Chain A
Amino acid sequence: MRLYSVGTAVAVQHAIIGRITTATSCGAETGKNCVLLWKHECPPLDYHSYGAILTPYNGCWWDVPPSVPLVHSLRGADYLADGDVVRIDPTGYVRTLYRKTSANNFILTTDRCNSYCLMCSQPPRQINDSDRIAEHLLLIDLIDPETKELVITGGEPTLLKDDFLRLIQACKEKLPRTAVHVLSNGRLFYYRRFAERLAELRHPDIMLGIPLYSDVDSEHDYVVQARGAFEETIIGLHHLAQYSVPVEIRVVVHALTYRRLPKLAEFIVRNFPFAAQVVLMGMETVGFVHKNMAALWIDPHDYQGELADATWTLFRSGLNVRIYNHQLCVLDRRLWPFACKSISDWKNVYLEECRSCALRDACGGFFESAIKKHSAYIRAIRHCELPHAKDPS
């Protein structure tokens, strides 16, 4: 699925962030933060009530005053809808920041990271993007308050430090009914006061998803390519727990982590029994994975024993376990009750083979990247193979 379009910009002096409206009727939304998406060949009647105007048509002949930013000839923008929030670049590049109809909205807070994970799906960049906070805060203003969940991700969002806390505070104020899920390596919560300050914001529905790759420091540090990261994450998790901030522990399963997965599960049971949930995830083969494919790749079929062991160890201790990014045909059947449809809609695909699968609707499918690289054991499951009257939920 596309989340950007390119058109011809006229009078776009600087980046503009605004909420899409297609209606021009009386009482419809207008204002500086409102972007009119005009889907008619004739020009709109009112230019002045909007922060910018987008149109798929060639609007170069429209009599738009120079003070009104316009992007015309916008190609393939059918996915834009009322309530979506876009960022319009002076170059005519229009990127979707928020989709009202999607359950998978996120804020990419920064490209910077203090880890350098071997399998990072979104390789960090050492750039100074600290000024993006203003856009994030504006975005939070424009998001529909009925949004169920918002993911705060990066890079490493906590590198924003005070601005990270401002962001959470803004979520609490503007989106009090929206669950906030922060994807962080947790390392900065090694500093107790930072965890305490996050807790003091008293966000009503926040959870921090923090990855842990091994029960042994050197092995975790190797995967995240940062000495001392294990220590910071472990102590960070405990600081968060001490201040009652809900945490989720996330483990990406690959060739470097699967062997000790059952031991890691035991480690979690003994050291983080407070975890709100533990998520065991299949690897997305993008980003750094390509560089490290030889070290990382294992067919998920070949680690089902370890995955089942780890899942059971966590489950029987009373922890809430979920399995993400695994296809049911590859997953050990005992694990089906734990499998979730976890892949964000915009990068979720199914293969040709899946068409005839009896469980296609129950299955989470693949990351887009898996079209090129996936388990050799993908196959359509036939109705007659299903255990009768067995509810996998």
Chain B
Amino acid sequence: MGQARFEAPDFYRPGGKYGLLPFHFMQFTPDTKLVVNEVGEHLLLSNSDFDTFITHQLDQGSNLYFDLKAKHFLFDSGSPVPIHLLAIKYRTKKSFLAGFTKLHIFVVTLRCEHSCPYCQVSRVSIDKSRYDMAPETASRALEFVFRSRAHEIKIEFQGGEPLLNFERIRQIVEEAEVLNTSARKQLEFVVCSNLALLTDEMLEFFRKHHVLVSTSLDGPASVHNINRPRPGGNSYELAIKGIHRVQEVLGKERVSALMTTTRHSLRYPREIVNEYVANGFCSIFLRPISPYGFAARTRRATGYTIEQFLDFYKQALDYILELNRSGIFFVELYARLLLTRILTPFPTGYVDLQSPAGAGIGVAVYNYDGDVYATDESRMLAEMGDKKFRLGNVHADSYEQVFGGEFLRTVTASSCVESMPGCADCAFQSFCGADPVHNYATQGDIMGHRPTSEFHKRNFAIIKHLLTIYHSDPIAKEIFWSWVRNAPLYGSQETSQ
């Protein structure tokens, strides 16, 4: 119960020394150190403040002391609050693990009428029986999908060009909907198509069954058609026509596009972004080429150094920020993904950058022949002859054998940035993730070797770039927040400072 008089502030302040809680740090600029706690909250400290802090000499009534305490970099009493808050936020950050595999990719055919040199997998083949998924394989794979305990299930159709086997898409969607009448999951479908073969009948089916469309758009015609050759050289024209048709019939928010950066793209960051804006998109995902499939073989023609890619990425990001400054809400999706991790307590559902990696436990791929792979990249690797990440086959193996096997356990255990050499002590650890398949494909080893890893170089550089902008450019900071919130800025005069 209350007392008769009021106590002074010192009465409530703990006496004695403070202790440090676990955190990562790095020299961010010559004058400042970045400190990041276990759940991704960060502070920039001057070198001298940092030294005072870690040598236990901070004034316990100073603002800096309070800042570090409120973000759980230090503790000064027996209070369970710092551990409670860290634990609950750690659970939140790792909540993507709950429910097990959420993304299920169906490779309904390997055939494609495009012949993109950077393609990760495809067969320009008319031999239907050889590279199309059979109806019974689709049904069996669906049984696996519905064995996952995840409440949210996303079924993604890939290829090849999945529309070449539209009958299988139809079958899978309809069967999944029937299975879901009892499973009652939050079910979502996405078809990843170049849209060249899109018909009204297909569109009507997508509309009726709420199928989302993801397509490829590499930039203006001059870039796109060089990157994505097909008979007639009209990939761009067909993609644009398809995009507009889908926007019209399904709605603007039901179609998204991915771009792949080739050597040819590097010179056109603005043109590529403009192409997206002009076609009604509110976002772009600036992707490097994956070192798989045909892309690995054609690397000399299409490839570039990681430095070249980063240069391209930064130019494009700069331009995108410029657009946002002028009032156009337009998001770079990879930046948004990383910023969400940096600025919020929430995880992201992106399977290619998680810890432990999403391979198998976040995503599974059902290949046309019934083979199950841990990631999309794993089956691309398999098409190159290396079936290292093949988890089993829907006909030959049980769900338990495929998803509970020793191999997947090993991959998962070996893909935690918390323990991986070079990642374990990285200040960006809680923003980043692991990609064991990428490591294996490029470095011959699941763990990988950070100092020579392009995956590491790219993510490290982009995270550092985003943090630098965030802390030096007040307007860009607000734009970044608007991306995280996924809503336009409130009006330029309302930005803080």
Partner of A334, one of B2, B478, B493: B493
Q: Mark B314-348, 1 if CB is under 8 A from A, else 0.
A: 00000000000000000000000000000111100
A36 to B277 alpha-carbon distance, docked (Å): 71
- Is A227 a contact partner of B12 (Cβ separation < 8 A)? yes
| Among A215, A225, A263, A271: residue with most chain B CB under 10 A | A271
A118 to B2 alpha-carbon distance, docked (Å): 11
Closest to B13 in A: A218
- Is A263 a contact partner of B2 (Cβ separation < 8 A)? no
- Is A126 a contact partner of B2 (Cβ separation < 8 A)? yes
**SS of A interface (majority):** helix
Asked if B232 is at the interface (CB within 8 A of a chain A CB), the reply is no
Interface residues of A in 195-226 (CB under 8 A from B): 215-219, 221-222, 225
- Is B14 a contact partner of A218 (Cβ separation < 8 A)? yes
Partner of A225, one of B7, B41, B484, B496: B7
Interface residues of A in 106-164 (CB under 8 A from B): 112-116, 118, 124, 126
CB-CB < 8 A to B495: which residues of A? 312
Partner of B344, one of A221, A235, A273: A273
Asked if A270 is at the interface (CB within 8 A of a chain B CB), the reply is yes
Nearest Cβ distance between residue B160 and chain A, in whole angstroms?
A: 39
Asked if A231 is at the interface (CB within 8 A of a chain B CB), the reply is yes
Q: Mark B1-31, 1 if CB is under 8 A from A, else 0.
A: 1110011110111100000000000000000
A291 to B71 alpha-carbon distance, docked (Å): 34
Partner of A271, one of B66, B85, B487: B85
Nearest Cβ distance between residue B70 and chain A, in whole angstroms?
A: 4
- Is B69 a contact partner of A216 (Cβ separation < 8 A)? yes
Asked if A292 is at the interface (CB within 8 A of a chain B CB), the reply is yes
- Is B7 a contact partner of A238 (Cβ separation < 8 A)? no
Partner of B478, one of A234, A271, A316: A316
Q: Mark A230-250, 1 if CB is under 8 A from B, else 0.
A: 110011001000000000000
Q: Mark B176-191, 1 if CB is under 8 A from A, else 0.
A: 0000000000000000
Interface residues of A in 365-380 (CB under 8 A from B): none
Nearest Cβ distance between residue A234 and chain B, in whole angstroms?
A: 6
CB-CB < 8 A to A266: which residues of B? 70
CB-CB < 8 A to B276: which residues of A? none
Asked if A67 is at the interface (CB within 8 A of a chain B CB), the reply is no
Asked if B124 is at the interface (CB within 8 A of a chain A CB), the reply is no
Asked if B88 is at the interface (CB within 8 A of a chain A CB), the reply is yes
Asked if A315 is at the interface (CB within 8 A of a chain B CB), the reply is yes
Asked if A29 is at the interface (CB within 8 A of a chain B CB), the reply is no
The interface-forming segment of B76-84, B294-302, B360-368, B437-445 is B76-84
- Is A126 a contact partner of B6 (Cβ separation < 8 A)? no
Asked if B245 is at the interface (CB within 8 A of a chain A CB), the reply is no
Partner of B1, one of A112, A218, A219, A230: A112
Total interface residues in chain A, CB < 8 Å: 44
A151 to B493 alpha-carbon distance, docked (Å): 36
Closest to B3 in A: A116
A219 to B481 alpha-carbon distance, docked (Å): 29
Report the number of A-B residue pairs with Cβ-Cβ less than 8 Å.
100
Asked if B136 is at the interface (CB within 8 A of a chain A CB), the reply is no
CB-CB < 8 A to B3: which residues of A? 116, 225
Asked if B494 is at the interface (CB within 8 A of a chain A CB), the reply is yes
Closest to A224 in B: B12
CB-CB < 8 A to B89: which residues of A? 270-271
Given contacts A216-B66, A270-B89, A308-B496, contact A230 B81 (CB under 8 A): yes
A113 to B41 alpha-carbon distance, docked (Å): 35
- Is B496 a contact partner of A114 (Cβ separation < 8 A)? no
A239 to B7 alpha-carbon distance, docked (Å): 29
Nearest Cβ distance between residue A14 and chain B, in whole angstroms?
A: 28
A139 to B149 alpha-carbon distance, docked (Å): 48
- Is B12 a contact partner of A222 (Cβ separation < 8 A)? yes
Nearest Cβ distance between residue B11 and chain A, in whole angstroms?
A: 7
- Is B485 a contact partner of A216 (Cβ separation < 8 A)? no
A271 to B71 alpha-carbon distance, docked (Å): 10
- Is B482 a contact partner of A118 (Cβ separation < 8 A)? no
- Is A270 a contact partner of B66 (Cβ separation < 8 A)? no
A196 to B477 alpha-carbon distance, docked (Å): 39
Nearest Cβ distance between residue A289 and chain B, in whole angstroms?
A: 12
A116 to B89 alpha-carbon distance, docked (Å): 31
Closest to B92 in A: A273
- Is B485 a contact partner of A316 (Cβ separation < 8 A)? yes
- Is B67 a contact partner of A270 (Cβ separation < 8 A)? no
CB-CB < 8 A to B88: which residues of A? 238
CB-CB < 8 A to B70: which residues of A? 215-216, 263, 266-267
CB-CB < 8 A to B11: which residues of A? 222, 227
- Is A231 a contact partner of B481 (Cβ separation < 8 A)? no
- Is A273 a contact partner of B346 (Cβ separation < 8 A)? yes
Partner of B84, one of A216, A235, A273: A235
CB-CB < 8 A to A267: which residues of B? 70
Nearest Cβ distance between residue A313 and chain B, in whole angstroms?
A: 8
Nearest Cβ distance between residue A350 and chain B, in whole angstroms?
A: 27
CB-CB < 8 A to B7: which residues of A? 222, 225
- Is A217 a contact partner of B41 (Cβ separation < 8 A)? no
Asked if A309 is at the interface (CB within 8 A of a chain B CB), the reply is yes
CB-CB < 8 A to B67: which residues of A? 263
Nearest Cβ distance between residue B103 and chain A, in whole angstroms?
A: 24
- Is A315 a contact partner of B490 (Cβ separation < 8 A)? yes
CB-CB < 8 A to B13: which residues of A? 218
Closest to B88 in A: A238
Nearest 9 interchain pairs by C-beta:
A215-B70, A116-B2, A312-B496, A316-B481, A221-B12, A218-B13, A222-B12, A218-B12, A216-B66
List the interface of chain A (C-beta within 8 A of B).
112-116, 118, 124, 126, 215-219, 221-222, 225, 227-228, 230-231, 234-235, 238, 259-260, 263, 266-267, 269-271, 273, 291-292, 308-309, 312-313, 315-318, 334, 337
